[in-house]
């Protein structure tokens, strides 16, 4: 184990004026408090705090941070208290240790609401003193370096937490070396096969081409000497996870990936950076579109460098970063540059930008009154990538949006694979098609001849590519049925305004709507791509407001202030004649709910957001959309009779969506435009009386509580 003398010797290399007595005292106190405690590996527990202090000393951190590292687990795991630490080491160090303890106790992988609150606390703690986060990041780095001693399930949990939270946080704070190592250590746990595959390919490539890095580095040094530029040239193969991410971004296999090597040229002055750029471009051909000047346009975290990609030796593309020594320190250590010492003095780096400004602005913007979901979404926008990347069995990488399923994965490979999908294996285990994929998983698609896309896949898929392909296939498969249904919907829509649905009328409507023929018009009508009202008004525009002329919805309810914008709740779709109340949201928005809406339970502990409302007199002529959930017999003409019944009640079907199809029944959602509660009751009664209707209920979805059912409207 590293001794106190070893640690002090390391610190004295950059800070000869460090407080050796303080470091020795902290070392002795930590060793005493952790006496008799052991890690999963069997080592004495105190080896961990010492290793964390060593990581921070390598970043040339101040004495207070190093002492905090040595003591960071004492308040949590030993008999030491805040008061004991404060009395012995002072208020500053006690608060830092307490801050690290609080961060350690955050359950960052729990439920979404608790996770949002934990993020809020994390950022609040970070904004008070960034050294708390530096110690926590070093703590996580050492734990990841020694993770093999943990149980496999614990390894996976910690690795995913590191990949999702701590690695992005390190990157956001400009500590790129730490981010890369945390990502690669997590990658080793989450996808060892993928990582080993990349390493094997590296070995094969080196065997075939020799030491490319050494050769190109030598070539660059020769060019620097020719240009009379003093420079350090550093070459390296990029880390396996970085290579994997490149494969994701470019959607290429390893064999087609060009810039797997990176080179840094570090010089004395900014002017030398541009001289180096000229020398490099004179010697090698620049790759178009791969030049970025972050010196003239720095990143928000202070990062400065020139990036260019050139075709190097044997035509291999290599990435070159050109920067000064000061720029390099900021690029590598980020926020740690604010606390580092050299020769006993704090280093002032003119390029360093304090990331606390970003964190402070985030905590100010996301104040305590904001919804948990809104806070978490904002944090994800700030910190998380919005994509997941998964492997095919051959090791190729497929890039998908978060929330994607095996169906999206299958269609991302090829439309034919997606359409023939009957199942999937994730990391070797059979999973349902609605499973949400996670970063680093290996996915195998199982296909079968004769399989065609199912209607339920529309709701399972999240990518536009998959949804479009599924809809196209369903439309082609069900075209004949959609044409029959469309003819019934058209008949009802025309009869509802006293007209007849003749072939000539339908042909005229198709022409007016720029649709290729009557059959295509009916197919689109039957598949709910267009509504019966739109077909009718295409040739009779004067009838557009014939059914239930819509009044000013801005005056639909009483009880709002002039600046408040009201929306009907999409969860319960209240209509005139029902008791209502409002829930306020940020930005003067009010969502109107029915008094019995199940979603209101979510706001029981926030009475200050409730508003007593009532319908304005005269609103019973307005058009309001209500969704019915119907289960009907799968017999000829049943759907047509249901459409007729709704039309006979002077209501219009604005949308129709099948959510389940079986040989003996259909289940569907029907959006009906109606006037008020009485009108709704008449329609529901008429449908319940139909013998081929098994069930007909009003569809309500508490999950849509914060969404309005229509366009926001301003009161008054």
CATH code: domain of residue 200: 3.30.460.10
Whether residues 87 and 8 share a domain: the answer is yes
Query: What is the arithmetic mean of pLDDT over 256-277?
Result: 83
Query: What is the arithmetic mean of pLDDT over 250-272?
Result: 74
Q: Which run of H or E residues covers position 293?
A: strand 292-293
Residue 368 has what pLDDT?
Answer: 46
CA distances from 543 to 492, 494, 501, 508, 548 (A): 15, 11, 15, 16, 11
Whether residues 573 and 542 share a domain: the answer is no
Residue 622 lies in a domain: yes
Return left, alpha or beta for 175; rule: phi > 0 is left, psi -120 to 50 is alpha, else beta: beta
Residue 378 has what pLDDT?
Answer: 47
Residue 506 has what pLDDT?
Answer: 92
For residue 58, is pLDDT > 50? Answer: yes
By residue range, what is the domain housing residue 410?
A: 387-454
Residue 487 lies in a domain: yes
Residue 377 has what pLDDT?
Answer: 46
Whether residues 238 and 330 share a domain: the answer is yes
The answer to whether residues 23 and 66 touch, using CB atoms and an 8 Å cutoff, is yes
Look at the chain and count its residues.
716
Of the listed ranges 165-174, 401-410, 636-645, the least confidently predicted one is 165-174
Q: What is the pLDDT of residues 313-325, one digit of tens each?
A: 666 778 899 999 9
Q: What is the DSSP string of 543-564?
A: GTT-SS----GGGSEES--TT-
Q: Which residues pair with 660 in a beta bridge?
A: 667
Whether residues 31 and 178 share a domain: the answer is yes
Residue 229 has what pLDDT?
Answer: 94
Residue 555 has what pLDDT?
Answer: 60
Query: Which of these three, 291, 309, 334, is where a domain ends?
Result: 334
Residue 351 has what pLDDT?
Answer: 63
Q: Considering the chain, what is the average pLDDT of its residues? A: 80
Supply 545's token pair: 């407001």
CATH at residue 130: 1.10.3210.10
- Residue 308 burial (CB count, 10 A): 20
Residue 688 has what pLDDT?
Answer: 87
Q: What is the DSSP string of 217-273?
A: HHHHHHHHHHTT---EEEEEEPPHHHHHHHHHHHT--GGG----EEEEEEESSHHHH
Which comes out higher in pLDDT, residue 364 or 56? 56
Q: How many domains does the chain have?
A: 5
Distance CA 215, CA 209 (A): 10
Residue 307 lies in a domain: yes
CATH at residue 399: 3.10.20.30
Q: What is the pLDDT of residues 413-457, one digit of tens each?
A: 999 999 999 999 988 888 888 898 886 678 899 998 878 888 788
Would you place residue 141 in the very low, low, confident or very high pLDDT band (cuts 50, 70, 90)?
A: very high
Whether residues 245 and 323 share a domain: the answer is yes
Q: What is the pLDDT of residues 203-242, one digit of tens each?
A: 777 776 667 788 889 999 999 999 999 999 998 877 888 7
Which comes out higher in pLDDT, residue 223 or 531? 223
Whether residues 563 and 485 share a domain: the answer is no
Supply 563's token pair: 């600046």
CATH at residue 712: 3.30.70.260
Residue 516 has what pLDDT?
Answer: 86
Which comes out higher in pLDDT, residue 689 or 263? 263
Residue 345 lies in a domain: no
Whether residues 260 and 399 share a domain: the answer is no
Residue 344 lies in a domain: no
Residue 348 lies in a domain: no
Whether residues 272 and 126 share a domain: the answer is no
Distance CA 281, CA 310 (A): 8
Q: What is the pLDDT of residues 363-412, one digit of tens each?
A: 554 454 444 554 554 454 444 445 677 778 877 778 787 788 999 999 99
Name the pTM for this structure. 0.51
Whether residues 659 and 672 share a domain: the answer is yes
Catalytic residues: 76-77
Residue 488 lies in a domain: yes
Would strands 652-661 and 285-286 be described as parallel, antiparallel, or unpaired? unpaired
Whether residues 107 and 137 share a domain: the answer is yes
Whether residues 31 and 110 share a domain: the answer is yes
Of the listed ranges 264-273, 564-573, 620-629, the least confidently predicted one is 620-629
Would you place residue 251 in the very low, low, confident or very high pLDDT band (cuts 50, 70, 90)?
A: low
Residue 362 lies in a domain: no
DSSP class of residue 354 equals -
Residue 713 has what pLDDT?
Answer: 40
Q: What is the pLDDT of residues 285-299, one digit of tens each?
A: 887 767 888 888 787
For residue 675, is pLDDT > 60? Answer: yes
Distance CA 80, CA 76 (A): 8
Distance CA 326, CA 346 (A): 14
Residue 345 has what pLDDT?
Answer: 63
Would strands 693-698 and 624-633 be described as parallel, antiparallel, or unpaired? antiparallel
Query: What is the arithmetic mean of pLDDT over 276-281?
Result: 91
Q: What percent of the chain has pLDDT over 90?
A: 24
Whether residues 206 and 157 share a domain: the answer is no
Residue 223 has what pLDDT?
Answer: 93
The answer to whether residues 539 and 508 touch, using CB atoms and an 8 Å cutoff, is yes
Which comes out higher in pLDDT, residue 175 or 669? 669
For residue 48, is pLDDT > 90? Answer: yes
Q: How many CA atoms lie within 13 A of 630 on its CB side?
A: 30
């Amino acid at each position: 184990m590293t001794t106190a003398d070893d640690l002090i010797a390391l610190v004295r290399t950059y800070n000869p004026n460090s407080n050796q007595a303080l470091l020795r005292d902290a070392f002795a106190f930590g060793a005493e408090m952790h006496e008799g405690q052991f890690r999963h590996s069997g080592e004495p527990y105190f080896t961990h705090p010492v290793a964390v202090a060593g990581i921070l000393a390598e970043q040339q951190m101040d004495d207070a941070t190093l002492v905090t590292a040595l003591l960071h687990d004492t308040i949590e795991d030993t008999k030491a208290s805040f008061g004991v630490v404060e009395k012995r080491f002072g208020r500053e160090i006690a608060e830092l240790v307490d801050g690290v303890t609080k961060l350690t106790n955050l359950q960052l992988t729990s439920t979404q609401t608790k996770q949002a609150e934990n993020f809020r606390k994390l950022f609040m703690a970070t904004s008070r003193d960034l050294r708390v986060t530096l110690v926590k990041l070093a703590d996580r780095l050492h734990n990841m370096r020694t993770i093999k001693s943990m149980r496999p399930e614990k390894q996976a949990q910690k690795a995913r937490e590191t990949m999702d939270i701590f690695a992005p946080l390190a990157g956001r704070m400009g500590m790129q070396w730490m981010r890369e190592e945390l990502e690669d250590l997590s990658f080793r746990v989450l996808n060892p096969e993928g990582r080993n595959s990349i390493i094997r390919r590296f070995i094969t490539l080196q065997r075939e081409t020799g030491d490319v890095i050494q050769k190109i580095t030598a070539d660059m040094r020769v060019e620097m000497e020719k240009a009379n530029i003093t420079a350090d040239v550093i070459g390296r193969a990029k880390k396996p996870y970085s290579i994997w991410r490149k494969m994701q971004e470019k959607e290429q296999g390893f064999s087609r990936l060009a810039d797997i090597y990176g080179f840094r040229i570090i010089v004395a002055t900014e002017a030398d950076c541009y001289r180096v750029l000229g020398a490099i471009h004179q010697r090698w051909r620049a790759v178009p579109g791969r030049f970025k000047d972050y010196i003239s346009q720095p990143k928000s975290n202070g990062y400065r460098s020139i990036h260019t990609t050139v075709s190097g030796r044997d035509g291999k593309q290599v990435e070159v970063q050109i920067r000064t020594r000061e720029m390099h320190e900021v690029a590598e250590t980020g926020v740690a540059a604010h606390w580092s010492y050299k020769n006993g003095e704090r280093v002032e780096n003119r390029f360093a930008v304090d990331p606390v400004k970003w964190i402070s602005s985030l905590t100010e913007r996301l104040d305590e009154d904001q919804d948990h979901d809104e806070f978490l979404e904002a944090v994800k926008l700030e910190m998380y990538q919005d994509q997941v990347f998964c492997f095919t069995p051959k090791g190729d990488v497929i890039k998908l949006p978060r929330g994607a399923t095996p169906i999206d994965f299958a269609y991302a490979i090829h439309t034919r694979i997606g359409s023939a999908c009957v199942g999937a294996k994730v990391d070797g285990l059979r999973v349902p098609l609605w499973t949400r994929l996670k970063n680093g998983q290996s996915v195998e698609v199982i296909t079968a001849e004769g399989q065609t896309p199912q209607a339920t896949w529309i709701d399972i898929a999240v990518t536009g590519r998959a949804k479009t392909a599924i809809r196209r296939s369903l439309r082609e498969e069900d075209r004949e049925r959609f044409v029959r249904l469309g003819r019934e919907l058209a008949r009802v829509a025309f009869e509802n305004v006293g007209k007849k649905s003749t072939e000539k009328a339908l042909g005229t409507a198709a022409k007016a709507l720029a649709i290729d023929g009557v059959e295509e018009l009916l197919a689109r009508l039957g598949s709910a791509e267009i509504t019966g009202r739109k077909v009718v008004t295409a040739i009779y525009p004067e009838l557009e407001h014939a059914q239930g002329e819509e009044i000013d919805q801005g005056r639909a309810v009483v009880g709002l202030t002039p600046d408040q914008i009201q929306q009907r709740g999409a969860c319960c779709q209240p209509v005139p004649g029902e008791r209502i109340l409002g829930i306020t949201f940020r930005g003067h928005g009010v969502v109107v709910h029915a008094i019995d809406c199940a979603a209101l339970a979510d706001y029981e502990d926030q009475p200050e957001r409730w508003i007593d409302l009532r319908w304005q007199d005269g609103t019973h002529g307005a058009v309001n959309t209500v969704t019915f959930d119907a289960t009907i017999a799968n017999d000829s003409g049943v759907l047509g009779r249901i459409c007729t019944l709704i039309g006979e009640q002077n209501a219009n079907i604005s949308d129709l969506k099948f959510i389940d199809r079986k040989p003996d029944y259909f289940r569907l959602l029907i959006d009906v435009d109606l006037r008020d509660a009485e009108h709704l009751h008449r329609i529901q009664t008429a449908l319940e009386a139909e013998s081929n209707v098994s069930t007909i209920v009003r569809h309500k979805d508490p999950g849509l509580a914060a969404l309005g059912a229509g366009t926001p409207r301003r009161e008054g």
